Amino acid sequence: MTNSHKKIHLARSGTADLTLHGGQVPPWLLNRMKSLALPMVEALIMEHGKEGFIERMANPFWFQSFGTLIGMDWNSSGVTTTVMNVLKQVISPVSQQLGIYICGGKGKHSLKTPNELMNVGMKTGLDGNHLAHCSKLSAKVDNTALQDGFQLYIHNFLVSDTGAWTVVQQGMNPKNGRARRYHWHSGTVTNFVQEPHAAVCGENQGKILNLVHQEAQATQQAMLNIAKEHPDRIIKEFPHLIVPGYHNIRPKDVDFKRLGSILWLAQEQESYGYEELLLH
């Protein structure tokens, strides 16, 4: 069999819906998962290259299968935390040899991702600022521009020393006891605010607000126009924008002091697009 016959092209990235589970993986199982994970990653890199491994991690089905193969429950939201934790622990000591770096994590560890990527840049010669920018934008899109009821609490950024990257991040919806995992791949992202996800896989849970849909460009422009208005005018008019009977957001729920500071910050930008507005 030739190498071209062996190659599997996984071009899609997207989301996966999972049952929200609590608890921790027993230490004995975690150690076994670590023992399995590194040899498997090394074998995958030998067969498909480091870029091939990075690309496969962006596929929600492949990711779930990999987690099951190293010993994690196949249907648990915990597969995201556990698999990424295991991979970061076993790959970090040999990152330079493998040419793969894993940044971020769960909770407060996710906030360290930009600084970790800057360090990766210094070690590899990659543009750390650009990687950090991609990390922040992917999180902002899934947490802010995509209003689907899931709030991010896990963010991992995997990158090769050649610049290929994958984001694996997960949000929680406490109302229905579900978790949703989002996958991004550098090979499929051409614009962070216009259809950045190449595919979406998950249960239909009703209507959502997707501000990065291709049909949302007019809404994006309207938001930019509002951001360019004088903050005092927006603050004055804002209470009248609350639709009567809409119970998700009420005037008392809005921190006008914080809103004003955000509007003033946006006002100070001489020229920006929707990406920059998301990052405020």
pLDDT digits (tens, 9 = 90+) for 106-136: 999 999 999 999 999 999 999 999 999 999 9
> Which of 25-34, 127-136, 254-263 is predicted with the least confidence, judged by mean pLDDT?
254-263
Task: Categorize the per-residue pLDDT at 7 as very low, low, confident or very high, splitting at 50, 70 and 90.
Answer: very low
User: How many Å apart are CA 78 and CA 20, to the nearest integer?
Assistant: 7
Percentage of the chain modeled with pLDDT above 70: 74
What is residue 254's predicted lDDT score, i.e. its pLDDT?
67
The per-residue pLDDT for 279 is 77
| Lowest mean pLDDT, pick from 150-159, 179-188, 204-213, 254-263 | 254-263
Of the two residues 42 and 251, the one the predictor is more confident about is 42
Is the pLDDT at 152 greater than 70? The verdict is yes
**Top-confidence residue, 29 or 118:** 118
- How many CA atoms lie less than 13 Å away from 120 in the CB half-sphere? 30
pLDDT greater than 70 at residue 157: yes
Question: Does residue 210 surpass a pLDDT of 80?
Answer: yes
How far is it, in rounded angstroms, from Cα 235 to Cα 267?
13
pTM assigned to the model: 0.79
Better-predicted residue by pLDDT, 36 or 77: 36
Over residues 186-194, mean pLDDT = 89
For the chain, what are the domain ranges?
3-207, 214-279
Q: What percent of the chain has pLDDT over 90?
A: 46
The pLDDT value recorded for residue 244 is: 47
Chain segment 89-102, per-residue pLDDT in tens: 999 999 999 999 99
The pLDDT assigned to 6 comes to 35
Confidence of residue 22 (pLDDT cuts 50, 70, 90): low
